[in-house]
């Protein structure tokens, strides 16, 4: 059984914070691969300034092409929106359940709101969650902090966001160091977020 960590996000665009976490997880946990699942429509987000799915996919593809253990995934592109993670996990289980065991990769900030996710109990029953530290307000619920299925991984903290990158780029600031070079080239050539 291959151990696959799923890193869900809008990746609008993917940045070095995302890449550093995925790489850290695959190098320092028992995961064999990490798949970036590009979400067409996150349940708690508006579609504001959201690039088309295939452009966000292409940027993830560019970011991971030199990392054999990291993969982009289009699995949610043909699933109903908004994209609830439980539905995607069921779908992945049907498609790859015999070869792969799926876990989730999640920031501490998302874990704080995890009790609001659709069928979160079912997710936890069937999957492990690898949590990395994030600077954020609020407390992780006690039942999650000590849950046997939740594994804490001391990954490095890089507090940048896609929102910051989009805004700064629009203002003409140089944000090149915050993106893998191939992502920067694609974004610039395509005139995104101007």
Ligand X SMILES: Nc1ncnc2c1ncn2[C@@H]1O[C@H](COP(=O)(O)OP(=O)(O)OP(=O)(O)O)[C@@H](O)[C@H]1O
Ligand Y SMILES: O=C(O)c1ccc[n+]([C@@H]2O[C@H](COP(=O)([O-])O)[C@@H](O)[C@H]2O)c1
Nearest residue (CB) to ligand X, 10 versus 128: 10
> Min. distance of Cβ 81 from ligand X in angstroms?
15
- Contacting positions for ligand X (CB under 6 A): 9-12, 17-18, 21, 107, 109-110, 134, 158-163
> Min. distance of Cβ 79 from ligand X in angstroms?
17
User: Residue 118 binds which one of ligand X, ligand Y, none, with CB within 5 to 8 A depending on kind?
Assistant: ligand Y
Question: How are the residues of the chain apportioned to helix, strand and coil, as percentages rounded to the nearest 5?
Answer: 40, 15, 40
User: Residue 44 binds which one of ligand X, ligand Y, none, with CB within 5 to 8 A depending on kind?
Assistant: ligand Y
CA distance to 61, 117, 171, per residue, from 128 (Å): 25, 15, 41
Is 71 in contact with 36 (CB distance < 8 Å)? yes
Nearest residue (CB) to ligand X, 1 versus 128: 128
User: Residue 159 binds which one of ligand X, ligand Y, none, with CB within 5 to 8 A depending on kind?
Assistant: ligand X
User: Residue 17 binds which one of ligand Y, ligand X, none, with CB within 5 to 8 A depending on kind?
Assistant: ligand X
> Min. distance of Cβ 100 from ligand Y in angstroms?
18
> Min. distance of Cβ 83 from ligand X in angstroms?
11
Nearest residue (CB) to ligand Y, 43 versus 156: 43
Q: What is the C-alpha separation between 6 and 31, in angstroms, rounded?
A: 10
CA angle, corner 79, sides to 21 and 152, nearest 5?
A: 25
CA 66 to chain centre: 18
Helices (H), 4-161: 16-28, 53-64, 85-96, 108-112, 120-126, 142-145
């Amino acid at each position: 059984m291959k151990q696959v960590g799923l890193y869900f996000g809008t990746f609008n665009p993917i940045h070095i914070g995302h890449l550093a976490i995925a790489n850290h997880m695959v190098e320092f946990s028992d995961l064999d691969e990490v798949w970036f699942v590009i979400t067409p429509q996150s349940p708690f987000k508006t579609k504001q300034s959201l690039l088309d799915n295939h452009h966000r996919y292409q940027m993830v593809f560019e970011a991971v092409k030199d990392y054999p253990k990291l993969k982009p995934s289009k699995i949610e592109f043909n699933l109903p929106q908004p994209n609830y993670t439980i539905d995607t996990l069921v779908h992945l289980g049907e498609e790859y359940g015999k070869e792969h065991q799926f876990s989730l990769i999640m920031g501490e900030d998302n874990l704080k709101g995890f009790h609001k996710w659709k069928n979160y109990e079912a997710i936890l029953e069937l999957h492990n969650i690898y949590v990395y530290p994030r600077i954020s307000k609020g407390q992780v619920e006690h039942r999650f902090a000590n849950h046997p299925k939740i594994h804490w991984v001391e990954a490095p903290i890089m507090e940048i966001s896609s929102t910051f990158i989009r805004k700064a780029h629009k203002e003409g600031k140089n944000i090149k160091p915050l993106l893998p070079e191939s992502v920067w080239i694609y974004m610039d050539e395509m005139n995104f977020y101007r």
